[in-house]
Amino acid sequence: MEKKSLYKVIFPLVVIAIWEIFSIWLKKPAILPRVESVLIILIHPTQKILGIGNLLESTIVSIVRVICGFFLAVIVALPLGILMGYFKRVREITTTLIELLRPIPPLAWIPLALAWFGLKNFGDLLGIKTYHPILENLQIAMIFIIFIGAFFPILLNTIHGVKGVKIILIESAISLGARDKDILKKVILPSASPSILTGLRMGFGIAWMCVVAAEMLPGSNYGLGYLISHAYDIARIDVVIGGMIIIGIIGVITNTIFELFERKMFKWRAKGY
């Protein structure tokens, strides 16, 4: 193994060792379970855990929720961000409201989301009466919270990216015969794309945090957030920690995917450009 990658794993291993020592010394699995018991949870992801679902299903449900909320946020924030970045007037009209809403943490929207949408899910919204395993678990209030969480980073980074397009590139495109739609497609979007992708990455990260919090809401019946909060109720701290580790791992995986994508897509970027 390379020295650098060795450094990367050594500290987590030390922390795990300390955890193990403490848990042996403490002898209270309801406060700090042994490392092995958490590992058992992790390597048996399909095992039912006391009527609150299993780890694999919970993870899938959470991911589907995040993807839904995230895509809704992209659909709204991306065009809005482009308009706000490009047209000063649009920016002037919208900026006060955006600035006012932006500092409100997504979780502060929870009571309002519950008041508006209750426990309704997307199945109800679409008028589907029969049981549908996916739609049934897409509670509108939860998707709304995820949407709010992902919305602002995407919006602000898109505005930033579009505003930062160099005038000379637009003029150069015009002088080469480009029309408005060419300028949008061939100049503004590619030029703003690194910033937009940063927004997507940040938005996805926050969406992932929001889903876990939203799943601790009343009316939730599935998902990683539900799993860990109810595992606590039945004093299964091994499940709590196992769930937390999965949340962390998925965060790392998605972040890495975004970073790989950025590196591949933005080879053209160099210092000073």
Binding residue for other proteins, selected from 36, 92, 171, 259, defined by CB under 8 A: 171
The CB-of-179 to other proteins minimum distance in angstroms stands at 8
Would you count residue 190 as binding other proteins (CB under 8 A)?
A: yes
Q: Which of the 8 DSSP states describes residue 2?
A: -
Please report how close the Cβ of residue 168 comes to other proteins at its closest, in angstroms: 5
* 162 touches other proteins (CB under 8 A): no
Choose between 12 and 177: whose C-beta lies nearer to other proteins: 177
Query: How many residues make contact with other proteins (CB under 8 A)?
Result: 24
> x/- site string to other proteins, residues 66 to 85, per CB under 8 A?
--------------------
Q: Shortest distance, CB of residue 190 to other proteins, whole angstroms?
A: 5
To other proteins, the closest distance from the beta carbon of 19 in angstroms equals: 47
- If binding is defined by CB under 8 A, does position 179 make contact with other proteins? yes
Closest approach, Cβ 207 to other proteins, in A, equals 27
Contact residue for other proteins among 7, 11, 131, 273 (CB under 8 A): 273
DSSP secondary structure, 140-186, as one string: HHHHHHHHHHHHHHHHHHHHHHHHTS-HHHHHHHHHTT--HHHIIII
SS3 string, 80-133, reads HHHHHHHCHHHHHHHHHHHHHHCCCCHHHHHHHHHHHHCCCEHHHHCCCCCCCC
Task: Determine, following the binding rule CB under 8 A, whether residue 39 of this chain makes contact with other proteins.
Answer: no
Q: Are the C-beta atoms of residues 222 and 48 closer than 8 Å to each other?
A: no
User: Residue 124 in contact with residue 136, Cβ under 8 Å?
Assistant: no
Using CB atoms within 10 A of its CB, is residue 152 exposed (0-12), middle (13-18) or buried (19+)? buried
Three-state secondary structure call for residue 54? coil
For residue 184, state whether it binds other proteins (rule: CB under 8 A): no
